[in-house]
Structure 1
């Protein structure tokens, strides 16, 4: 049934009360990132810090969720423990489809439970369980226990945190159905501060599909585009890990804490090598026929009884860059060993790897000592890195407490800011050049997917500042429309404007088609207004010295171009986020 209003479940962990509310605004915000920002504007607090019990954790889906392939993501919005400002993250798994089958457009959680709690929601059920006994359980163990506590069908999604979220690391993630994550900006900590160990969404209700003739024809066409053409083939084949060799060839692969942008050893952790040496199977988010999730295996021998055990570990490009190249770990199975610990502790793998890369260089240069690190961090030392991951999650001293709050915060205290590879948060794996560095450093959620700056660098050798800034603003707006749907960004080459208009029309939302660009602009401005109101100052963002020392296939970084982009993008952000009365 097509609704003009949003159906939202509100859960207050302090009072234990739950209610269903409806809000208008489909034509203004569509859903997803737009709905999340609208709900934070209503229920969030500008004046209170991220850890105040009143601050909401919001999960939203879009108007096309459940109707088409790859409309399979959920948007999670919260005030970030990383920078104390509004942010969002995205994950797949079964989360989006489970919310659709629970007849919800959004789930909003406020308050704080007295003891560690698991929340279960569905269309006919809301339940909280005291799970204090699970404090300290890793994310994978937590999932196994919760599947027994809250039995359900294949429509059930389990979102949970590990020890890092309980201990309030600023970059703890939310594990979703084992192999997907709300990874960046500390969503796991936003749950942990509420004493919320897990959320189980039971998709316990059906929903009707459109009965018109256009819908099944269009669904078949989209399915074929996604499964029989080359457009999406790489995601199923080697996955995003295929990027290792090309980026290495372009001298754009961060290596050894970005001391290098290429290495002859990169081939040893390439997508091809991971597939040959570790790949166990492919998996997919619910509602996705592509299967981009690549699951590798780690095999270990127990000397006492000569028995073998293997564990399944998901991988793609970002974890390989951060826990492989950045740490100069050049053996695929060994990279998976580090990732396995990160998964269990419930940390973001990019932030963890980049933080450890900085710590390794800082130790090497004498900025810090083993008195701080407790283990001798050295390039390629897998066992030391595995131990250090646990220290970030469960800090045994002041150094790791600070490192768990962010690399740049730690570097500001101990020294070594010049080589802290932080662009708003610990960097993503694209040392492509000036446009990407500025895009991630100043971008809304400091993610490589905010806008395609990494792609722009590879396609443009000119240094036209205005053209680059226009691209960043417009490309971000286009992605926002897909994030309102909420579609997987891998599918943006398939879901162009015309196809999205057809898709919306076939399920009954055709009246919104002419407003897509306007909606994208409205949501883009609303998100920036929220961040700026919480203290974000894009003009004050600094890009560490290490990025100015980089050489790519185009040559050394042009500092004047970098600075012009930084100043220009900060100005554009301030314009987009200006209060409504200032724009009029």
Structure 2
């Protein structure tokens, strides 16, 4: 098929070897690219039960057939491995320009195995591969590391790097590129750190072949004008995801003080208008059609963002309403290479533990000077930070507070209160990498569009499945989440234009279902079952006190009903397990 380079770069860090091999096109036809194809490779190549921080784990950087073409919003890079935070499969996507440069270097994917015996970085210049010393970079933040490498090689190179969090094998560690873009969840930065790999530096000078170029480019431009550039998508140019703050506040799903309640009467002190008044500049990723990146400066704090998740985590969920403190915390986390969602939930839990008198972690709600200091300590594994770096599941197992430890499978909750969107509790529970809003974004249907009642289990299994199926396809195509209006029909048409093979909507949809199933099969092989598809006891026991969802809690029987609906739609048994007959088709 067109759109592919038909080549994978396999790197063995232990042996310091790198060799190109053919892409498994039989797998590509079933999984397309990025999320799906990376998981397929990991499913086939990783032995069950391996330690995610051992040399046996693999880190896969995966593009897709649209990467490097004129398809808008197709610049995402898939990053996948076994998660040290959860023990599950984990895939993330990262924006910027790294995906394009890997593709232009001639590769659909880079598979990184083994581990270096001392800190180093991988340099890819088309078909020239080398292993460089990173001893002088080790210990530096992401921003300084990328600046040093950009000065050395030039800005036509992309850098994927880790900060101190990854070096210290923190389960909240990100991989960072273009300074402020992250593969943020599940600890992929720790996987990179366990391999003594400080960075991947890549330059590509090639191209991507597609059939009927003039006709394809003309139609792609029409799709951009007709679909991408409509108001339901372009709001991210004006607001980024700061716009979600008002929507979540009005919808009753903005978490407050470790999800103890929802909505904040003082939310206008840190809303989108407050942040966007401090706009210093904008940018977009490679192949971007929307340009969501906003550079803000408040006081001495400057960074790209903050995104909604970070505002909510470092704002109301921390009992904080100071926008400068939010931005400063964001800046520190980005430089340290820390997931803002997980670090925010860990610190919110620690604040509640302190205030309840269960265990004194030395921090209370709203104490942002200490909060910002703790972020750096978590990343560096220093003092109390070494404890907090364990993540909220392990912390609650050690100190108590399990009922309000907001996590699933060891991955902390994103910033959407599920008692105001019952389908979100299901989406968090059945997500392949632990609590995740990117697999199935239930608030879009239950709260914002109001197409299905939020406070009922009815129809939620089918709804979450359809959302997850759609997003699985989207991420296999490396399409950015902010092209929110893209349909299965459009994705099928784009695949046909780029690959030269006619794709039907049914075939595209089947890919989405297949990806959900193989991710589940990976986790099933690791011992995960329905008992791991959980929710914190808080959402069952405690009713919300404020906002549009006041009085809501989710009955446990309703939660279990939603789970069984979801399993049934996918053909899994009541324990959430795939039958052998289904596994055989993957």
Provide TM-score, normalisation by structure 2: 0.91
Quick one: distance in 2 between partners of 1:190 and 1:47?
15
Q: More displaced, 88-97 or 461-470?
A: 461-470
1:298 and 1:313 in contact (8 A); partners too: no
Moved more, 501-510 or 265-274: 501-510
Match of 1:512, SS state, is coil
Q: 2:518 maps to which residue?
A: 526
Q: What residue number does 1:261 align with?
A: 262
Task: Report the Cα distance in structure 1 between the residues aligned to 2:495 and 2:534, rounded to whole angstroms.
Answer: 41
CA shift, 1:471, in A, is 1.3
Judge conservation of contact 1:102–1:204 (CA < 8 Å) in 2.
yes
Output aligned runs, 1:417-432, within 5 Å: 417-424=402-409, 425-431=411-417, 432=420
| 1:86–1:534 Cα contact (<8 Å) kept | no
Q: Size of the alignment, in residue pairs?
A: 565
Give the aligned partner of residue 303 of structure 1.
none
Greater shift in the superposed pair: 38-47 or 201-210: 201-210
- Residue 394 of structure 1 corresponds to which residue in structure 2? 380
Residue 145 in 1 paired to residue 148 in 2?
A: yes
Q: Verify the 8 A CA contact 2:185 2:339 in the aligned structure 1.
A: yes
Residue 103 of structure 1 contacts residue 205 of structure 1 at CA under 8 Å; is this kept in 2?
Answer: yes
Which residue of 392, 397, 404 corresponds with 2:389? Answer: 404
Q: What is aligned with 2:107?
A: 104
Counterpart for residue 363 of structure 1 = 354
1:384 and 2:370 are equivalent in the alignment: yes
Aligned residue for 2:376, secondary structure, equals helix
Shift of 1:114: 0.5
8 Å contact kept, 1:124–1:204: no
Contact 1:152 1:202 in 2 (8 A): no
Partner of 1:307: none
User: What is the CA deviation profile of residues 469-494 of structure 1, one whole-angstrom value per residue up to 9, with x for unaligned ones?
Assistant: 0111122112111111111122141x
Q: Residue 59 of structure 1 contacts residue 107 of structure 1 at CA under 8 Å; is this kept in 2?
A: yes
Partner SS, residue 51 of structure 1: coil
Aligned to 1:270: 271
Task: Work out the CA distance in 2 between the residues paired with 1:60 and 1:101.
Answer: 13
Q: Does 1:557 align with 2:542?
A: no
Taking the aligned partners of 1:394 and 1:477, their CA distance within structure 2 comes to 38
| Helix, strand or coil at the partner of 2:299 | strand
Q: Following TM superposition, by how much is the alpha carbon of 1:35 offset from its aligned partner in structure 2, in angstroms? A: 1.1
3-state SS of paired residue (2:256):
coil
The answer to which of 414-423 and 51-60 deviates more is: 414-423
Q: How does 1:25-424 map to 2 (within 5 A)?
A: 25=26, 26-67=28-69, 68-153=71-156, 156-208=157-209, 210-225=211-226, 228-276=229-277, 278-300=278-300, 311-369=302-360, 373=361, 376-397=362-383, 399-424=384-409
- Relative to the length of structure 1, the TM-score reads 0.92
How far, CA to CA, are the matches of 2:401 and 2:563 in structure 1?
Answer: 22
Deviations 1:38-95 (A, max 9, x none): 2112322213221220211001111111220101111111000001221111111112
SS at match of 1:354: helix
| Residue 541 of structure 1: how far off its partner (Å) | 3.7
Instruction: Using the TM superposition, name which of 451-460 and 380-389 deviates more.
Output: 451-460
Structure 1 range deviating more: 356-365 or 438-447: 438-447
- Select 1:437's aligned residue among 412, 418, 425: 425
Aligned-partner Cα distance in 2 for 1:420–1:313: 29
- More displaced 10-residue stretch of structure 1: 513-522 or 573-582: 573-582
Is this contact kept in 2: 1:525–1:577, CA < 8 A? no
Query: Is the 2:342–2:412 contact (alpha carbons within 8 Å) kept by the matching residues of 1?
Result: yes
Tell me how large the CA RMSD over aligned residues is: 2.2
| CA gap 1:497/1:313 in 2 versus in 1, 3 angstroms | closer
Structure 1 match to 2:442: 453
Per-residue deviation, 1:250: 2.3
Deviation of 1:330 (Å): 0.8
Distance 1:163 1:356 in 2: 18
C-alpha contact (below 8 Å) 1:527/1:577 kept by paired residues: no
Q: In the alignment, is residue 476 of structure 1 matched against residue 462 of structure 2?
A: no
Deviation at 1:503, TM superposition (A): 1.8
Specify whether residues 378 and 90 from structure 1 end up closer, same or farther in structure 2 by C-alpha distance, changes over 3 A only: same
> Aligned partners of 1:34 and 1:543: how far apart in 2?
26
Partner Cα distance (1:257, 1:469) in 2: 27
Work out the CA distance in 1 between the residues paired with 2:293 and 2:103: 22
Higher mean C-alpha deviation, range 451-460 or range 257-266? 451-460
The whole-number CA distance in structure 1 between the counterparts of 2:54 and 2:78 is 21
Deviation at residue 532 of structure 1 after TM alignment = 1.1
Looking at structure 1, the residues matched to 521 and 182 of structure 2 have their Cα atoms a distance apart, in angstroms, of 27
Q: 1:213 to 1:177 in 2, by over 3 A?
A: closer
Tell me the alpha carbon deviations over residues 194-222 of structure 1, each in whole angstroms, 9 at most, x when there is no partner: 00111112122233454444212212212
Q: CA deviation at 1:253?
A: 0.6
Q: Does the 8 A contact of 1:451 with 1:475 survive in 2? A: yes
